[in-house]
Structure 1
Amino acid sequence: MIFQPTDKAKRILVADREFLARGLKPTLFGDAFHNSMRASWPAFFAGFAVYFLAMNLIFATLFQLGGDCIANARPGSFTDKFFFSVETLATVGYGDMHPADVYAHLIVTVEIFTGLSTLAVFTGLIFARFARPRARVIFADALALGPHDGRAMLMARLANARHSAVTEAEAELWFIHAEDTQEGRRYVRFHPLKLTQERNPIFALSWTLFHPIDAESPLQGLSSEDLAAMEARFLLVFNGHDEASGQRLIVRRAYMAADLRFGHVFSDIVTPAQQEGDPPEVDYRKIHLTEAAAP
C-alpha cells in the first residue's frame, strides 16, 4: 500500500498536550479497533447505532430495488422492508414477512452473514472494553516544591480511589523541556527525575513522591520564569498489579510549569484517631491541597 500523506490537520493529544498533525494518512477504518477502545461508552454505542441504522438502510434499499420480493410486505413499502431488514440483521425472524423469490433469498443470505459477523465483532469489542483494567488513581492537581526532611524537594502526590490494594507499584517522574542546540534548532529533552522511593509494595491509600533538588537534579537553580521559558512539563507515570483483576495497571498524569507551586508542601490528608480504638481518617478531598512551607 502506497503511503499518501494529506495536508489536512488533525488534532492529537500527547501527554495531555494538544498538537496539530499534518501529513498523516487517515486511519478511521484501518485502526478501527484502537479507535473503538479509546472512545467513550456513549460514543461507542452511538457509533454502533449509526452503523446498525446504515446497514439496515442499505439492505432495505436493496430489497426495494427487487420490487415486491418480500412476502406479506405492503407493495412498495420501504418501511416494511426496513423493518424486515432489522429482523434479518438481528437474526430474529418473526415470520410475518419472508423472502418471496431468489433475489430476496440472496440478499437475506448476505445480510444474515453480515449480522452474525457484526454481532461477533461488537461482542468482542464490548468484552475487551469491560476486561481492560482501569486504574482509579487520583493525582494531585499540582506539584509542590518545598522543604522536606531538611532538603528541598519536588513533591507529587497520588491516591488509590479503590478499596483494593495495588501491589508492586512503581512510579516514574519525568522532566520534559525544550532546548536550543548550538545550531539554533529547538529540541525536546526528557530527563528522569530520581525519586527517594520509586517502588511501593502495597499502594492502598496515598503516596507522596519526593525528588531531591540537589547538584544532580536538572531542576537545580531553576525559577518559575526559567521553567516557563523552557516550556517545561512534568510527566508522572504509575503502574502496578491490581489484586482485584489480577492485571497490570498503567496510568499517567502530565503537569505544566504553571502547575508547580514553589515554597509549598502538601497538606496532610490523614487525621489521627480522636479516641482510642477509633481508626485514623483519610480525607481524599484534601489530596489537591498544598500549604506554604514554614520559613
Structure 2
Amino acid sequence: MASSTADNVLPKALQFHSASPLVDIGANLTHESFDRDLEDVIARAQAAKVNTLIVTGTDLAHAEQAVELAKQYPSVYATAGVHPHDASGWSVELAHKMKALHALPQVVAVGECGLDFNRNFSTPAEQEHAFEAQLALAVESGLPLFLHERDAGVRMREILTAWRDDIRDAVIHCFTADRDTLHGYLDLDMHIGLTGWICDERRGHHLRPLVNDIPLERLMVETDCPYLLPRNLPAKLKGRRHEPALLPWIVKEIAQWRGISEAKLGSATTRTAQRFFRLPTES
C-alpha cells in the first residue's frame, strides 16, 4: 500500500462521511495523478462511504486500464469508449477492440462518447461518425451509454432521437448546459450526471435552479476527478486534485438546492446508478 504522506491525506475538514452509500459514476482514476497513491484514494473513498467507483474509459488504452482496475478492486467498474476529442482515430479495428471490452463483466457502459463542438479536436463529421458507431455497439451489447456533450446539444438530441428506440439507457455525464437542453434530454428519457460544477459560483449558478427539474430516478452524481474540484470546499487542498472521497460535498450542495436531505438524495442517486449500470444492490 502507498504510504500515507502529507501530500496524499485529505485535511480533516475534507474528510467527509456520506449519510448513505454513494456511487461515483465518473472517476478518471487512470489519470497519471493517481499513479502514486491509487490504493489510498480508493480507501479514502470507502471511508467516505463512496462505496462504488465507475472508472471512465475515454480511449482504448484508458478503457483497458479501467478494466484492470476493476479486476483488482471489487468496488470498481469500468466504461469503455472513445471520447469525441479522439474521434478522428476511430477505425474498424478499434471498433472490434471496443466490442471485445464491452463483453467483459467489468465493463458496465459504452463511453465516454458523444459530441464536443466546443474544442473540435476532431472535426464534427469525425465525431458524429465515431458516435454513431458507438451507438451501434451499445445496441449490440445491450449496455447503457455514458455520454459527453459540449456545445452540441441540438445535434446530440437529433442523433439520440433517431436511435432512442434501440438503445437501452443513456446518461449525459457532467451536465452543464441550459434549461432547454436539459428538458430536451429528459424528454428522451435520458439520465443526468451532476458534478462539482454546481459548486462553482463563477459558472455553476445557472444549474442550481435546474436541479429540481431532474426526476430523482434520472439523477446520478459524479466527481469527474481529478477534474472539477469544487471551488467552495471548506478547506484548501494541496495540489487541487479532485478525488472520489469528496463526492459527499457535491451531494450536500445538490441536496441544498433541491431542498431535500443529503441522505435522501444520496440514497436515490445510488439506487438509480445501481439500476442503470446493473450493479449489485449491496454496493
Same structural fold, with TM-score higher than 0.5 when normalized by the shorter chain: no
Work out which structure has the larger RCO, using CA pairs closer than 8 Å and 6 or more positions apart in sequence.
2
Query: Which has the larger share of strand?
Result: 1
**TM-score of the pair, normalised by structure 1:** 0.20
Query: Which has the larger share of helix?
Result: 2
**TM-score of the pair, normalised by structure 2:** 0.21
